[in-house]
Amino acid sequence: MILPPFELHQPSTLDEAMATAQKLRDEGMTFDYMAGGTDVLPNYKNRLNARRQVIGLGGVAELTSIDDTSIGALARIDDVARDERVLALWPTLAKAAGLIASPPLRRLGTVGGNLLLDTRCYYFNQSEFWRASKGYCLKADGDVCLVVPQKETCYATYSGDLAPILLVHDAELEFRSPDSGRRVKLRDFFAYDGTRRFEKAADEVLVRIHVEPTALATDYLKLRARDTIEYPVMGVAMGVATKDGLVTDLRVAVTGSEAVPLYYGDLGLMGAAVDASTADRVHEALLDRIQCYRNVPFPPGYRKAMGAEFGRSLFLQLTGQQA
Amino acid sequence: MSSDRHEKLHPHDDAVQRHGLIGKRIPLIDAMRKSTGQALYTDDLAPNACLVGKILRSPHPHAKILAIDTSAALAMPGVHAVLTGREAPNSFGVLPVSQDETALAVDKAIFIGDGVAAVAADDEETALAALRAIRVDYEPLRAFLDLQDSLEEVPEELRLHKKTVGGTNIHKEVRQNFGDVDGEFERALWKKRMSFRFPGIQHAFTEPLVVIAHYDADERMTVWSAQQVPHYLHRALAKVLEMPMHRIRVIRPTVGGGFGGKSDPFPHEMVAALLSRKCRRPVRILFDREEVFYNNHGRHPSKIEVGLAIGHDKKVAALDIDALIDGGAWGSFGVVTTYYNGVLANGPYRVNNFRYRGRRVYSNRPASGAMRGHGAVNTRFAYEVLLDEAAHDLGFDPAQFRIDNALPAYTKTINEFRITTNGIVECIERACAMAKWKDKHGKLPFGRGIGIAGGFYISGSALPIHWDGIPQSTVHLKADFDGGITIHSLAAEIGQGSDTMLAQITADVLGVPIGQCRVYSDSTDTAPIDLGSYSSRVTFMAGNAVRRAAEEMRSLVIGGAADLTGYPPELFVLEDAHAINATNREVRVPFVEALRRAMKDRGALQTSGCYSSPPPMGGSHKGAAAGLSPTYSFQAFVVEVEVDLMTGKPKVQEVWAAHDCGRALNPLAVEAQIEGCVHMGLGQALCESFDYNKGNVENPNFLDYRMLSSTETPDIHAILVETYDPEGPFGAKECGEGPLLPALPAVANALFDAIGIRFYEMPITADKIWRALQKQKKSAAKAAAQGASR
Amino acid sequence: MTSASMTSSDESALPTSSDARPEKRVLHLRVNGSDHVVAARPYALLLDVLREDLALVGTKRGCDMGTCGCCNVLIDGKSVMSCLVLAHEASGKNIETIEGLAFEGAELHPLSAAWAECGGSQCGFCTPGFIVTCHELLAEEQAPSRQRIAEAISGNVCRCTGYKKILDAVEVAAARMRAAPRHETDARSAAL
């Protein structure tokens, strides 16, 4: 299956990449950055919003390093899953990375790519032929959403695995563009719907993810139809701290539900007792908040219920009430 | 009577006595090629000058084709040929009674993905650009996307094909009735009727479909295609191309998996040949995975109602089956499938009152056809689940209940199947023993359970599709000066090991190492006709054919040894690559010398062996031929399963799969077939589903069409039960399909043991289990509340 | 088509005749220790270049979408799907395919040998991808458990075997490689 034609630019440094981006922009051309390619290339094969110009970042080695406070956006997912520093500082990040897709895909895919993963939907992740036969959707080539028929909002599902735990850790994203650089909190980054997804200019490239060390007890649970290859159709990350039998910090984030990963904060449970009834309140609060659509595997009601179950289970486990 | 023959074969047959190759664990003879990347599949053979063929597909499920304008495509540089359906209107199909396919749609397109036009171009991009330049005017028609809709009487324009039942879109309706089903239901000790639902599933072989065709300078057509039945493709090509068969050569390169999915002649094979003839250049059509799903004829989506009555003697009193199956766009093997959904429920248990109605409908979806366990799988599920319910309700052990109902060996079923060897009881007993059934059934903690199910399957269809009197299998052997034995057969090696089986039997009979045999089974030019690799027929039929050819060759070689030594031929045996005088083993002639002597006056030795099923052995009722087989395989599985009570996720822990294969010619290969069957059966039970979104296939890819991965596949214990079939080659019968059958119901029965819930719809996914558990909890709470209030 | 919208492909990204495509560029590839120079379009996939330009057809095309593992090759020792790697992105890297991994000189590699003996292949179409993946595994771990092997191959799909005989083959190969330690990596890097 061939790709649509595009010109490939292969910078070997970030500065070169920015120079290329500036040049393309100045010439009025649209382009995509490509890191590991495991998201971009299948979409391109399906002729999904393919660009005529691609800046391949595979040669930009400076963006792969990991230190005590940050991870290069081009670090491969598999390297992050096994990195001793990550395992020690942010063990749940390593765990979530290790649950992504399948081993060969983890060797290609990058942390940045997973964070910025395009959203997914049965009506979107299909070939040009399929979409033509169905009638194009809002997210590509059409003007009506085929999941929830209207013309404003795309309901495709955010399917990255790393966002929830990075939301729990209050990570910051560092971007570069030809003109400047900026840092933004991950919690402020995702917005809008399944098409617009987040606040990022086309020429901005994600370079690093900054994560502070944490004392929280954390974990991540993922629902998927099989133990491998699959994207999360529900994923919950939680961080908890307790003192004297009371919750002193609680952070919950969810993926695989709506068009963006959602940070739910403490669910209004700060100061609650560390007991089974608080776990039930976590369950209740998540049932209240999680919203799913019929556009990825498993019925929405089940996925939502699992999100709530995961929340309760994580709370019990992270507060030592359950093995 | 016939049981004497049974006795004779075991353990006194010659192979056992000679310690020959039969029964030995032998790696498949093409294994080294495959594990080094040297095995060549169709796409690996593309000549450099191959054009790329691409097919334009209908975006409508049902539409008249008003006009097609191909002029712009044809005018594009790099485009060498364009084809439309009207240029090749001759219909074809695997069954003579269902010749309802054409190379491309002629007057109307009948599913999303149906081929409408095709191009051959220099490269893929040019071909795709040419497809975009073709203009097709469609007039959409009402689409038939639900089983019930196809039962309606409709105007001719809305019928998918000319031949349908009574003005509807029903393709085939069959009825059978034996005994007094209604009476038995009235008198029954226990009875239940239940409706079961099955989505379609797909073969999902890893090699996408690909074909290369070349109409060459000699005006001969050569077609390379990954085929299970080169012979049927050969016939269909002759019909569509209007060429004599002898000017067409079909070559079957290494095949990357079939499972029934490569056993029809297919439109793209016709298209490639037609395109090549138009531009006189080789043309390759390689499918995207999505196209494979459109082109494929998967297992029929089905709605099956089954009624089971148990009599006061604790035996199955009556079985009443009504199957409604979705055939999709074309006939394919569907007439056979329609029968199989009923008739193959007549074992492995005795049924004296049996009624069946089977209906197959056409619909505007990709066609359904033959898939591993063809026609038997879904009904088997329904039947075995109801048996389990009966056993549970009546307080019987489900394993013993099955043993009590088992057919004996050497009997006839009510629909007059001739049963010979039958290992069902041994299968149940050995699977239960290994699984520690008695310690576990009903005794495991909530969430964990164990279940059992049986099955039986044909070992080759006794009646060939084409009633032309040609033997079902013929094998030619040639031995020449080099001592090598060349085996010519058209039985298709598709990974199941048929080449190895042919070589193994030949080597065993001739007493030479297997490496001295070489198998050429890839070309219709050199191989005698064999009906190919489907209906679990190859070991039984081609195995018998090759054995006969080898035995004739043995006599010739022994003749040479007798000439050389002066001893009479009847004293000689062939062993250790020698002809040996059995009464005086000092007298030994190397095989090659005996062979050369035998060649003295006649040149290379050539022998031929063939196999045809025994003369008619079934009944005279309508449809009596369906399901007839020279012998049947039997199987029983025990499955242990665990359910995650929070998510409902089922995990099969272990499978004990006992299969009566008659005789394991090569235990390594038999185990491999059983393990593969179990994996595929568990997939249908737990996660596989070919989903539709109205007329569209929702999941035409390997991400969303889910097969069990390596980490979800349980430990599978293959248990080989050998019953030494009197007519099978060295006692063998099939092992490639039957072992799929018990997998589905054994899982469902294990789930019942685990959580006390029955499932009547495939696949049994986590969300369905979770929902059922929620419901169970609620009704338990309600019952407790009511109990408390009393 | 809403060409003004950002939610559609660039118009020229649709299939076009050859003159509208970006030019082929020279591509240097090191495959199985040999250097190759081919001309490939910027958007050519490594899988296509291996199969069509270098005639290394042992690497199979299964799904084109990274979901089956039939096209796996080693790039700098890591098993990845060549249907999701641009050929030009693999330039300068050390690529190994089944053709290079099956033999060491005239000797069959223990993985390929064990695969054949244990029945790891039936149709064999997935086999090259599996063996490539298992080369990576056994380079990292000398004695992986069956569970660990199953995880390592979980990105590869086999429709024939039910995986049991594949696990058998990897265990047997690992045991043989432990018994007769090899200096595979050293030998290979010396050769480069």
Contact B60, A133 (CB under 8 A): yes
Chain C touching partners, 3 or more CB pairs below 8 A:
A, B
Q: Do C65 and B34 touch (CB under 8 A)?
A: no
Instruction: State the pTM of this model.
Output: 0.96
* b/e burial code for range B212-238 (CB count within 10 A of at least 16 → b): bbbbeeeeebbbbbbbbbbbbbbbbbb
At residue C3, the pLDDT reads: 35
From B765, which residue of chain A is nearest by alpha-carbon distance? A225
* Residue B439 pLDDT greater than 80, yes or no: yes
- Asked if A132 has any chain B CB less than 8 Å from its own CB, the reply is yes
Identify all chain C residues contacting B707, using CB atoms and an 8 Å cutoff: 157, 159
* Residue C189 pLDDT greater than 60, yes or no: no
* Residue A282 pLDDT greater than 70, yes or no: yes
At residue B465, the pLDDT reads: 84
- Asked if A297 has any chain C CB less than 8 Å from its own CB, the reply is no
Q: Do C133 and A30 touch (CB under 8 A)?
A: no
Chain A touching partners, 3 or more CB pairs below 8 A:
B, C
Q: Do C15 and B129 touch (CB under 8 A)?
A: yes
B273-299 pLDDT, tens digit per residue, is 999 999 999 999 999 999 999 999 999
* Residue C156 pLDDT greater than 50, yes or no: yes
- Asked if B563 has any chain A CB less than 8 Å from its own CB, the reply is no
Identify all chain B residues contacting A309, using CB atoms and an 8 Å cutoff: 646-647
**Closest listed residue to residue B233, CA positions, set B265, B208, B191, B262:** B265
- Asked if B36 has any chain C CB less than 8 Å from its own CB, the reply is yes
Q: What is the DSSP letter of A258?
A: S
From A42, which residue of chain C is nearest by alpha-carbon distance? C65
* Residue B496 pLDDT greater than 90, yes or no: yes
At residue B46, the pLDDT reads: 83
B528-547 pLDDT, tens digit per residue, is 999 999 999 999 999 999 99
Q: Do A2 and C45 touch (CB under 8 A)?
A: yes
Identify all chain B residues contacting C122, using CB atoms and an 8 Å cutoff: 28, 257, 495-497, 672, 676
At residue B9, the pLDDT reads: 41
Residue window 645-664, chain B: list those with CB within 8 Å of chain C: none
From B32, which residue of chain C is nearest by alpha-carbon distance? C116
Identify all chain C residues contacting B702, using CB atoms and an 8 Å cutoff: 62-63, 65, 67-68, 157
At residue A51, the pLDDT reads: 95
Chain B touching partners, 3 or more CB pairs below 8 A:
A, C
Query: Helix, strand, or coil here: B674?
Result: helix
B567-611 pLDDT, tens digit per residue, is 999 999 999 999 999 999 999 999 999 999 999 989 999 999 999
Angle between helices A300-318 and A276-289 (to 10 degrees): 150
Q: Do A226 and B765 touch (CB under 8 A)?
A: no
| Other CB atoms within 10 Å distance of the CB of residue B446 | 10
At residue B3, the pLDDT reads: 39
At residue A235, the pLDDT reads: 98
Identify all chain A residues contacting B125, using CB atoms and an 8 Å cutoff: 2, 5
Q: Do C66 and A38 touch (CB under 8 A)?
A: yes
Write the CA distances from B191 to B177, B313, B406, B452, B742, integer angstroms.
18, 14, 19, 20, 22
The Cα of A292 is separated from the nearest Cα of chain B by a number of Å equal to 14
* b/e burial code for range B666-691 (CB count within 10 A of at least 16 → b): bbbbbbbbbbbbbbbbbbbbbbbbbe
Q: Do B57 and A299 touch (CB under 8 A)?
A: no
Contact B571, B581 (CB under 8 A): yes
Identify all chain A residues contacting C9, using CB atoms and an 8 Å cutoff: 4, 47-51, 140-141
Identify all chain C residues contacting A3, using CB atoms and an 8 Å cutoff: 43, 45
* Residue A138 pLDDT greater than 70, yes or no: yes
Q: Do B712 and A2 touch (CB under 8 A)?
A: no
A247-269 mean pLDDT: 98
Interface predicted TM-score (ipTM): 0.97
The residues, any chain, with a CB within 8 Å of residue B378's CB and separated by 6 or more, are B196, B198, B299, B300, B302, B304, B323, B341, B762
Q: Do B59 and A225 touch (CB under 8 A)?
A: no
B631-656 mean pLDDT: 98
* Cα torsion B278, B284, B288, B294: sign: positive
Mutation target among C59, C82, C86, C131 for the A interface, most CBs of A within 10 A: C86
Whether residue B742 is preceded by a cis peptide bond, meaning omega within 30 degrees of 0, is no
pLDDT band at C1 (very low <50, low <70, confident <90, very high): very low
B23-52 mean pLDDT: 94
Identify all chain B residues contacting C164, using CB atoms and an 8 Å cutoff: 675, 713, 715-716
pLDDT band at B18 (very low <50, low <70, confident <90, very high): low
Structure tokens at B68: 């097609």
From C62, which residue of chain A is nearest by alpha-carbon distance? A1
- Asked if C82 has any chain A CB less than 8 Å from its own CB, the reply is no
The Cα of A298 is separated from the nearest Cα of chain B by a number of Å equal to 7
Q: Do B713 and C125 touch (CB under 8 A)?
A: no
Mutation target among B32, B34, B41, B735 for the C interface, most CBs of C within 10 A: B34
From A309, which residue of chain B is nearest by alpha-carbon distance? B646
- Asked if A137 has any chain B CB less than 8 Å from its own CB, the reply is no
A78-85 mean pLDDT: 98
The Cα of B114 is separated from the nearest Cα of chain A by a number of Å equal to 12
Lowest mean pLDDT among B15-19, B197-201, B306-310: B15-19
pLDDT band at C18 (very low <50, low <70, confident <90, very high): low
- CB-side exposure of B257: number of CA atoms within 13 Å? 28
At residue A322, the pLDDT reads: 81
From B287, which residue of chain A is nearest by alpha-carbon distance? A1
- Asked if A225 has any chain B CB less than 8 Å from its own CB, the reply is yes
The residues, any chain, with a CB within 8 Å of residue A140's CB and separated by 6 or more, are A48, A49, A124, A131, C7, C8, C9
pLDDT band at B7 (very low <50, low <70, confident <90, very high): very low
Contact B51, B280 (CB under 8 A): no
Structure tokens at C128: 């090259």
Mutation target among A130, A283, A296 for the B interface, most CBs of B within 10 A: A130
pLDDT band at C17 (very low <50, low <70, confident <90, very high): low
Contact B68, C144 (CB under 8 A): no
Identify all chain B residues contacting C18, using CB atoms and an 8 Å cutoff: 77-78, 122-123, 125-126
Identify all chain B residues contacting C116, using CB atoms and an 8 Å cutoff: 27-28, 31-32, 34-35
Dihedral-angle region of residue B219 (phi above 0 means left; psi in -120 to 50 means alpha; beta otherwise): left
At residue B17, the pLDDT reads: 47
A115-129 mean pLDDT: 97
The residues, any chain, with a CB within 8 Å of residue B374's CB and separated by 6 or more, are B260, B333, B336, B337, B340, B534, B535, B737
The residues, any chain, with a CB within 8 Å of residue A26's CB and separated by 6 or more, are none
At residue C4, the pLDDT reads: 37
- Asked if B59 has any chain A CB less than 8 Å from its own CB, the reply is yes
Torsion from C-alpha of A188, A193, A195, A200, nearest 10 degrees: -10
User: What is the distance in angstroms between the CA of the first residue and the CA of the last residue of chain C?
Assistant: 51
Of C21, C99, C159, the CB nearest to B206: C159
Contact C7, A136 (CB under 8 A): no
pLDDT band at C10 (very low <50, low <70, confident <90, very high): confident
At residue B516, the pLDDT reads: 96
- Asked if A227 has any chain C CB less than 8 Å from its own CB, the reply is yes
CA angle A292, A295, A298 (to 5 degrees): 70
The mean of the pLDDT values for chain B is 95
Q: Do A2 and C80 touch (CB under 8 A)?
A: no
* Residue B152 pLDDT greater than 70, yes or no: yes
DSSP secondary structure, B146-187, as one string: STTGGGS---GGG-SSS--STTSSEEEEEEEEES-HHHHHHH
- d(Cα A306, Cα B647) in Å, to the nearest integer? 7
From B49, which residue of chain C is nearest by alpha-carbon distance? C52
